[in-house]
Structure 1
Amino acid sequence: MEPTTFLYTFLLTTFLIYTALLLLRKRRTATLPPGPTGLPLVGSLPFLDPSLHTYFADLSKKHGPIFSLQLGSKLAVVISSSSLAHAVLREHDNTFANRDVPETGRLFSYGGNDIVWTPNGPTWRMLRRICVHEMLSPQSLDAVSSIRQQEIRSTVRHIHASSGNPVDIGAEMFLNVMNIVTNTMWGGTLEGDKERESVGKDFKEVVANIIDLLGRPNVSDFFPALARFDLQGIQSKMALLRDRVDNIFERMIEKKSCDEGKRTKDLLEFMLRMEREGGDSKTPFTMSHVKALLMDMFTGGTDTTAATIEWAMAELLNKPDILKKLQDELGQIVGKDKLVDESHLPKLHFLSLVIKETLRLHPPLPLLIPHCPSSPCTIDGYLIPEGTKVFINVWAIQRDPSNWTDPLEFKPERYLQQGLQRDFSGKDFDYFPFGSGRRICAGIAMAERMVGYLLATIVHSFDWKLPEGKDVDLSEKFGIVMNKAIPLVAIPTPRLSKNVLYN
């Protein structure tokens, strides 16, 4: 073969191989997940249903367990299967450990200085350690058990005074949980029932409004370039609420400083001591962190707990046989001549099954808190770009018929079956109502105690029936916290053996 012919053959072969490799590489390059076609500029925003969890569940039936949609200038990806949730929250946990911080979240958390919105890193690890190992450890929770007992027995007295009349169960539970959280945070700082009532009243109103604003769709989040204009006024409203809360925080901190020599067991005292000591050697713990964690406790621990108890009561009233079984267990373990105490909770096994099943059907945060990858990542062959808003539809996963038999039925006994012994650790990706991975909810231990103690108490202390002509309504109202669309109203009747127990 002549040198010129050989050269041409070599160059042609090289070109063909190079072209083939390019085509093969292009074919292997990950693409975005499939999804609905949106409109120019606004994407799928005009088509969003207010009930995002069911809207996303319907889209997943059409586009698959991972799909994408454009929400303004923000790309969103929705995960709706247990295997892909495992990939995001376990296999690529470090990549997806950040949050897509909404403008309202940034405002109410003092610039994102709380455990929810702080990026993964040394500061977040310090906050997590403070919450899980110090503030919400079993020892810390035991130290304030008398506060929970006092407030729950106060609620029993209040419900007893309404015997024979309709009671809004969700509202009653919200007030109780708010009082528990308030007194746990700074109960030792307040002097007398009048001051506690005044501070509690301020907080009840503000927290309800904060949770409402956090759940509202905000143009600033879909078009970050427009955030400074606050077109809907949502950020300005949140700023006003944050300032109201900040005034209360300042009052409590000032009062605590004036009583520096007085030792108390509340969590504000613990955090102020941490702030004075400056955190650890690598990460400072500032006053902004103190206030942001206080805000987390109030917004994260009130509505979620109250909503869970209300859902549990709705399901129990809808299934009288299950309600009777729970009351029978309470009768055996507690007896009708005394009130429920926290020490009874570990023995109330059927109660724990009822709570698990309630959280399966009605997870407090149906889409969890959206994650945000810190770098591009491939999931199931699809590219998830850095900065994407990633929703995990735990509501859909926990109702998936491929994971659960009779998925829409309230069946607490299902967890007695071999292989279905679920817990709240997030290790089973067909059941993770509190999330999973490093960003799993930090308040699980407190939530377990409060939900168990309150639910056991109102079921044991009273018989409940619906007002004449009313049926249980299980429709949902979507928000950052999943509440009932129609509040549960029921009529209590005392069932304990002695009237003095209610006093």
Structure 2
Amino acid sequence: METWFIAVLSLCIIFLIRATFSSLTNNKPTVNLPPGPPHIPIITTLSWLRKSFSQLEPVLKTLHAKHGPIITLKIISRPSIFIADHSIAHHALIQNSSIFSDRPKPFPTSIIMSCNQHTISSAFYGATWRTLRRNLASEMLHPSKIKSFSEIRKWVLDTLIIRLKSASESEYADSVTVIPHFKYAMFCLLVFMCFGERINHEKINDIDRVQRSFLLSISKINILNFWPKVTRILLHKRWEEFLKLRKDQEDVLLPLIRARKQAKESRLNNLNTYVDTLLELELPEEKRKLNEEEMVSLCLEFLGAGTDTTSTALQWIMANLVKYPDVQRRIVEEIRDVMGGDDKGEKKEVKEEDLHKFQYLKCVILEGLRRHPPGHFVLPHAVTEDVVLNGYLVPKTGVVNFLVAQMGWDSRVWEDPMEFKPERFLKDETFDITGKKEIKMMPFGAGRRICPGYTLALLHLEYFVANLVWNFDWKVPEGGDVDLSETSEFTVVMTNPLKAHISLRM
């Protein structure tokens, strides 16, 4: 370890001498990158790599207050540009969408996890990305395809209600911690859409375990991308741990993929699942079908995008309905008006085909996503060519990110932005969450790289929120409180998970 410290210290001194000498001898104008804090080679890089997103966000907020809406950090060898202004974001992602739709050159760990960028979120802007995204959009997210899974959503809803009812009636339960039930429900739903099976509790836990293990190891994994040739030697045990995480993912998912392939060949199931579409897909540039490892990465992407984000958003929304009972009461009244009177009779389910009638419910969902977006950053963008944005250079070698939460909390756009006020959306019945005309909030991103599953996510949130408040009365436990402070995991979650007193609504 002493040798490693001496080597790092020596390199730091060398880089400092070179930087000082260069600044004294080079009178040519520097590249006009957006402003940012000073960069000390190696030392600054290691400092940024060790920070989690939750630690990075307040630093960025301070830097934006000092330098303006667009700033630069130098992380590893690339300039990382962070944009916090909604109008600049619109200029980049909508008006110049094709230029800002690429992905940065991947890190070594990302190459392994994405099978050399053969996932929708990681692929460079081009034929492979278009093929993978078109397949998901047309084969799984088309309205007719989404409707074909309505029965499984009803089954998952029934399962969730039974679990919550059982937990609330426990002998010692004055309150229920709801997030495990939400996550389990979303996993059951997305796993079925992916593999076409109602997988048992043990297998669901296995999938959750391999995903969770990787997500909790991200901070350890990031350091491996700093001089990979060196870290493979000095941090070889950590590399072994990372590769084992990947192997665990394959060990859990490959049997499900192979079982689906066998069922499809035997024509045992007519329902078209995500794996079915991947088995038939051909990559145009490589003129081949996907291999099994690539399908594992795509399935993990599908499950991750639809479980953690949706269950996180669902918990935040329900937390606000517990904290603000008048909002919850107003949703119930709207449902009662549509469902027809006080007597529910057999109408214990708010059906999907009726969701379009609930205007205030939609406002609650939008306000939840504005006030508590599950991700405070979008996935990093890159430009296909050097471009000038807001008077600054955005280089092709750079990484571009957008501060989602800061845009949704901008007091120039939103009155009392930190307050939970669903009625603000009643004034704009045609609010466009895609931001095509104007970006006011972008919980799903914007432009060509917008989350392809945003319509499915909105459906799931509306369907489950409506039925959760229609079946149960949600209250703050006696002597308890709803803490809306947040912390960062894969998504931005409640620091203290929601505990609610739940009783059947009479």
Which TM class, normalised by the smaller chain length? 0.7 to 0.9
Preserved contact between residue 224 and residue 231 of structure 2 (Cα < 8 Å): yes
For 1:453 and 1:238, the matched residues in 2 are separated by 38
1:380 to 378, 381, 390: 390
Preserved contact between residue 30 and residue 382 of structure 1 (Cα < 8 Å): no
For 2:47 and 2:399, the matched residues in 1 are separated by 18
SS in 1 for 2:44: coil
SS in 2 for 1:300: helix
Partner of 1:412: 422
For 1:228 and 1:157, the matched residues in 2 are separated by 49
Partner of 1:500: none
Q: Indicate whether 1:330 and 2:331 are aligned.
A: no
For 2:255 and 2:234, the matched residues in 1 are separated by 30
Preserved contact between residue 314 and residue 472 of structure 1 (Cα < 8 Å): yes
How many Å apart are 1:358 and its aligned residue? Answer: 0.7
Partner of 1:471: 481
Q: For 1:276-301, what per-residue CA distance to the aligned partner results, in whole angstroms no more than 9, with x for missing partners?
A: xx355975441244332211111111
Q: Indicate whether 1:184 and 2:193 are aligned.
A: yes
Partner of 1:46: 47
Once structures 1 and 2 are overlaid, which stretch shifts more, 43-52 or 170-179? 43-52
Taking a change above 3 Å as real, the CA distance of residues 221 and 370 of structure 1, as seen in their structure-2 partners, is farther
Partner of 1:263: 269
Preserved contact between residue 260 and residue 276 of structure 2 (Cα < 8 Å): no
SS in 2 for 1:483: strand
Taking a change above 3 Å as real, the CA distance of residues 217 and 203 of structure 1, as seen in their structure-2 partners, is closer
Partner of 1:354: 364
Once structures 1 and 2 are overlaid, which stretch shifts more, 218-227 or 360-369? 218-227
Partner of 2:14: none
Partner of 1:31: 32
Q: For 1:95-132, what per-residue CA distance to the aligned partner results, in whole angstroms no more than 9, with x for missing partners?
A: 32222334443332223211010111000000010011
For 1:272 and 1:30, the matched residues in 2 are separated by 44
Partner of 1:105: 110
Q: Indicate whether 1:147 and 2:152 are aligned.
A: yes
Partner of 2:98: 94
For 2:489 and 2:466, the matched residues in 1 are separated by 27
Partner of 1:79: 83
Q: Indicate whether 1:300 and 2:305 are aligned.
A: yes
Once structures 1 and 2 are overlaid, which stretch shifts more, 247-256 or 62-71? 247-256
Taking a change above 3 Å as real, the CA distance of residues 422 and 209 of structure 1, as seen in their structure-2 partners, is farther
For 1:490 and 1:465, the matched residues in 2 are separated by 6
Once structures 1 and 2 are overlaid, which stretch shifts more, 116-125 or 211-220? 211-220
For 1:30 and 1:91, the matched residues in 2 are separated by 24
Preserved contact between residue 355 and residue 452 of structure 1 (Cα < 8 Å): yes
Q: Indicate whether 1:211 and 2:215 are aligned.
A: yes
For 1:38 and 1:230, the matched residues in 2 are separated by 25
Amino acid at match of 1:254: R
Once structures 1 and 2 are overlaid, which stretch shifts more, 341-350 or 220-229? 220-229
Partner of 2:470: 460
Partner of 1:425: 434
Partner of 2:60: 56
Preserved contact between residue 361 and residue 395 of structure 1 (Cα < 8 Å): yes
SS in 2 for 1:490: strand
For 2:500 and 2:403, the matched residues in 1 are separated by 31
Q: Indicate whether 1:157 and 2:158 are aligned.
A: no
Taking a change above 3 Å as real, the CA distance of residues 380 and 239 of structure 1, as seen in their structure-2 partners, is same
- Please show how residues 163-242 of structure 1 align to structure 2 within 5 Å: 163-164=168-169, 165=173, 166-188=175-197, 196-214=200-218, 218-221=222-225, 223=227, 226=230, 228-229=232-233, 231=235, 236-242=240-246
Q: Name the larger-Rg structure.
A: 1
Preserved contact between residue 80 and residue 393 of structure 1 (Cα < 8 Å): yes
SS in 2 for 1:120: coil
For 2:140 and 2:421, the matched residues in 1 are separated by 34
Preserved contact between residue 213 and residue 234 of structure 1 (Cα < 8 Å): no
How many Å apart are 1:475 and its aligned residue? Answer: 0.8
2:403 to 390, 393, 396: 393
For 2:372 and 2:481, the matched residues in 1 are separated by 19
Once structures 1 and 2 are overlaid, which stretch shifts more, 362-371 or 335-344? 335-344
What TM-score do the two structures reach when normalised by structure 1?
A: 0.85
For 1:370 and 1:181, the matched residues in 2 are separated by 25
Amino acid at match of 2:253: F
SS in 1 for 2:480: coil
How many Å apart are 1:459 and its aligned residue? Answer: 1.4
For 2:237 and 2:411, the matched residues in 1 are separated by 42
Taking a change above 3 Å as real, the CA distance of residues 183 and 65 of structure 1, as seen in their structure-2 partners, is same
How many Å apart are 1:410 and its aligned residue? Answer: 0.8
How many Å apart are 1:423 and its aligned residue? Answer: 2.7
Partner of 2:139: 134
For 1:339 and 1:60, the matched residues in 2 are separated by 47
What TM-score do the two structures reach when normalised by structure 2?
A: 0.85
Amino acid at match of 2:497: P
Q: For 1:215-264, what per-residue CA distance to the aligned partner results, in whole angstroms no more than 9, with x for missing partners?
A: 66712345566564584966544432322221233212332343322133
Preserved contact between residue 230 and residue 236 of structure 1 (Cα < 8 Å): no
1:312 to 317, 328, 347: 317
For 1:297 and 1:340, the matched residues in 2 are separated by 26
For 1:274 and 1:152, the matched residues in 2 are separated by 31
Once structures 1 and 2 are overlaid, which stretch shifts more, 237-246 or 55-64? 237-246
How many Å apart are 1:269 and its aligned residue? Answer: 5.1
Partner of 1:10: none
Preserved contact between residue 97 and residue 439 of structure 1 (Cα < 8 Å): yes
For 2:389 and 2:322, the matched residues in 1 are separated by 42
Partner of 1:339: 349
How many Å apart are 1:353 and its aligned residue? Answer: 0.6
How many Å apart are 1:205 and its aligned residue? Answer: 1.5
Partner of 1:499: none
SS in 2 for 1:51: helix
For 2:232 and 2:217, the matched residues in 1 are separated by 17
How many Å apart are 1:480 and its aligned residue? Answer: 3.8
Taking a change above 3 Å as real, the CA distance of residues 63 and 481 of structure 1, as seen in their structure-2 partners, is same
Preserved contact between residue 37 and residue 44 of structure 1 (Cα < 8 Å): no
For 1:233 and 1:116, the matched residues in 2 are separated by 28
Preserved contact between residue 368 and residue 391 of structure 1 (Cα < 8 Å): yes
Unmatched runs of 5 consecutive residues or more in structure 1: 1-25, 497-503
How many Å apart are 1:46 and its aligned residue? Answer: 3.1
SS in 2 for 1:294: helix
Q: Once superposed, what is the RMSD of the aligned Cα atoms?
A: 2.6
For 2:83 and 2:235, the matched residues in 1 are separated by 30
Matched pairs, number: 463
Q: For 1:128-173, what per-residue CA distance to the aligned partner results, in whole angstroms no more than 9, with x for missing partners?
A: 1001111221111111111111011111011111225222122210
How many Å apart are 1:178 and its aligned residue? Answer: 0.4
How many Å apart are 1:41 and its aligned residue? Answer: 2.4
Partner of 1:363: 373
Preserved contact between residue 367 and residue 395 of structure 1 (Cα < 8 Å): yes
